[in-house]
Structure 1
Amino acid sequence: MGCGSSGGGGTGSGSSTAVSPTTLAPAPTGFDPCSDVLKPVLDSEQLHGMEKDDSNGNGGTQWRGCMWIQSDGYTVSIRTTNITLPMVRANAGFKVAEELTIGGRAAITYHDSDATDVSHDCILDVQIKGGSVEFNLNNPASNRRTGSTDTCEIGKSLAGKVVPLIPATA
């Protein structure tokens, strides 16, 4: 179900570093998803069961943050990463679904290019200095509460609540 610290889905594979020939700077620290995603946001989404969800990929890619679950609904990992939006766009391993703006920040939704059923998973990255804040959602059709809802729509709604909490300096 995506619960664990293995990378929260398709993004922990390290394949996103294929466009970076040099070692990356560490994941940005100007926003800490584990402490800066405030209780009212979590409550409004009925998210609970926070677990640390840090991981490292090839070439110095990093993800730092936490994962939450909605009972009978989706699971989301919200993490800062040193992967930038241009890196996502340039990576042949990803298929960009949508370019958008959330809370005044550039954002992108995408999935692994080889994924056959993308309706129940969504990766959404919002630009910050030195990388992005990544929302990695898993929403199987069997989930009674959210399984019939487009997973990227859930992600965009959640990001719309979280992005205003990111400091302008981040």
Structure 2
Amino acid sequence: MVSRGKLVVASAFAVGVVVLAGCGSSTSGDAKPVASTTSAGPSLAANVPNSYDPCKDVLQDVLDSEKLQNKHPVDDSSSGGVRWVGCQWVRSNGYGVSIRTTNLTVDLVRSRNFPEATEFTINGRRAISTRQFDGPSIKEACTLNVEMKGGSLDFNLNNPPSRRDTGSIDSCVLARGLAEKVVPSLPATA
């Protein structure tokens, strides 16, 4: 039996893959974002950075402090060459999050002009948080990308207002707080 929390998170992550505007086909048959790279704009690396594995390298102390559990691997790609590799977790009565390495750079995310794009630094690395969803649920979700060589560390957080523990907190505030705990574990060379 699948718990309501897992179902909400799974649904959110299925929707949360919408990182770039436009849809194309994918190998799994689901609508996926289409990467848009031109010689005039930021380029897309062929693969995700491999110097950090969110499934193994996110510290257990961080997961415990955020009450994140039920780790589930995610490996996704779009027909435009965008890839995400990592894991997702859920907090009972709280938010769900995927933490993945991606070949999307901070510059590429910025170039898409998503709503409420906010740039800052975390542990000396450039970062950007954005709202990448349309409709009434836009405030429930936040995507935060932290600079890595060849891409970024992607935090895709979904926080429905019905969630007792975190539903009243802005999803981008939660994403930034989590990123501030995770990013110090990135190797300096990543």
Calculate the TM-score normalised by the size of structure 1: 0.90
* 1:31-70 paired onto structure 2 within 5 Å: 31-70=52-91
- Tell me the amino acid that sits aligned with residue 72 of structure 2: E
Q: For 2:159 and 2:173, how far apart are their aligned partners in 1?
A: 11
| Equivalent pair of 1:69/1:75 in contact (CA under 8 Å) | yes
Q: CA deviation at 1:116?
A: 4.3
Q: CA deviation at 1:111?
A: 2.0
Aligned pairs, number: 168
Q: CA deviation at 1:112?
A: 2.3
Q: For 1:131 and 1:158, how far apart are their aligned partners in 2?
A: 19
| Equivalent pair of 1:109/1:122 in contact (CA under 8 Å) | yes
**Alignment gaps of 5+ in structure 1:** none
SS in structure 1 at match of 2:138: coil
- Tell me the amino acid that sits aligned with residue 37 of structure 2: V
Q: For 2:135 and 2:150, how far apart are their aligned partners in 1?
A: 28
Q: CA deviation at 1:25?
A: 1.4
- Two-structure CA RMSD over aligned residues (Å): 2.0
- Tell me the amino acid that sits aligned with residue 55 of structure 1: D
Runs of 4+ residues over 4 Å off in structure 1: 20-23
Once the two structures are superposed, residues 101-158 of structure 1 have per-residue CA deviations (whole angstroms, 9 ceiling, x without a partner) of 0111000001226444421100000000000000000000000000001111111110
Calculate the TM-score normalised by the size of structure 2: 0.81
2:47 matches 1:26: yes
| Equivalent pair of 2:44/2:104 in contact (CA under 8 Å) | no
Identity value in percent: 45
2:100 matches 1:79: yes
**Alignment gaps of 5+ in structure 2:** 1-7, 21-31
Q: For 1:111 and 1:140, how far apart are their aligned partners in 2?
A: 14
